[in-house]
A and B are shown apart, each in its own frame.
Chain A
Amino acid sequence: MTTSSMPVLDIHALNVYYGESHILRNVDLSVQPGQMVCLIGRNGVGKTTLLKTIIGLLQQRSGSVRFEAKELEDLAPHQRARSGIAYVPQGREIIPQLSVKENLLLGLEALPGGLRRHRHIDPQVFELFPVLEGFLQRRGGDLSGGQQQQLAIARALLGKPKLLLLDEPTEGIQPSVVLDIERAVKRIVATTGISVLLVEQHLHFVRQADWYYAMQKGGMVASGPTAELSKDVVDRFLSV
């Protein structure tokens, strides 16, 4: 195997528990460099749990999570963020009382040296999300859901991650903004070469990905190129 084809993220036989309940069962998943991978499955099958385990909010019981061939198990979330994983959680989690600008600045914390060394917000994020530029002085909590989602993605991008974890970026957002977000994510993958692991319910968005994994009851049950995503699979795993 050459270095170029070495996966960015490689998960093997992963088991995760919430207390005593077994959530993820022997999960295998890998994301290649520059690839956009979509994780599908009905509510409660463990998609969010998987993302939380990758960023380090949940601890694995067994198995391995490797990022650029390095085992992540003993790293805290902030160390994983600094090594190049960015996380946009379900519900966005903008810091509500901080201004939009300060929220964006927090994205720079993932760069080496953090905020001490970097105070410059790359104007490229305003090309992706023009709406943010006019709101820099507003409080993050005052933005609408769609604007918060764009802010959360912009914040994640400012840390120049190698892997972007997106958890249902279009959930509860008005259709016109959904298309904006979809376009932006597509453009990010095309122009920056960032790998994306996406959890999504919108079929249209799912089809933008290169590869899909389908989950059921905490385990992987199907995977393949999204081009081959059959109607049968869609009906079984997407709650449309």
Chain B
Amino acid sequence: MGLLSILRKLKSAPDQEVRILLLGLDNAGKTTLLKQLASEDISHITPTQGFNIKSVQSQGFKLNVWDIGGQRKIRPYWRNYFENTDILIYVIDSADRKRFEETGQELAELLEEEKLSCVPVLIFANKQDLLTAAPASEIAEGLNLHTIRDRVWQIQSCSALTGEGVQDGMNWVCKNVNAKKK
């Protein structure tokens, strides 16, 4: 490391901390996504009871990612984690068409929450590695995403398993961290 780069490091401001909330139905792939972000092994994943949290450095940000279990029984606890959220990431299993309605309803309820008002939302259309996965455009239409007007939003197709599309989504996150309308 040269003298210049050391000086530059000293000068640069400490990483801005960002609170990211990862929600979605059970089996959407939230924990796989979290582990993929943290570059951890994804072969031994079990259903999440409660929550997992990990911190990831990205583009000058310290992303504190909260992955909350998606099972119906613990969805009432989701609201305990809303406070001070900078970005909401909502994960959908694109191959589970039978539950599109359920996942759409949960998302709609989240967007109504006062504590999450104006929080930018990224929707991951996950599991695109499966042949039966619906394309992101179809999901966007089915969930009427175009009617969202009170915040910035984005839908990104991805596969948490292979990692494809995940980085694109996170780039959007970093760009929109400060887009929360006060």
A and B together in one complex: no
Interface residues, chain B, CB within 8 Å of chain A?
Answer: none
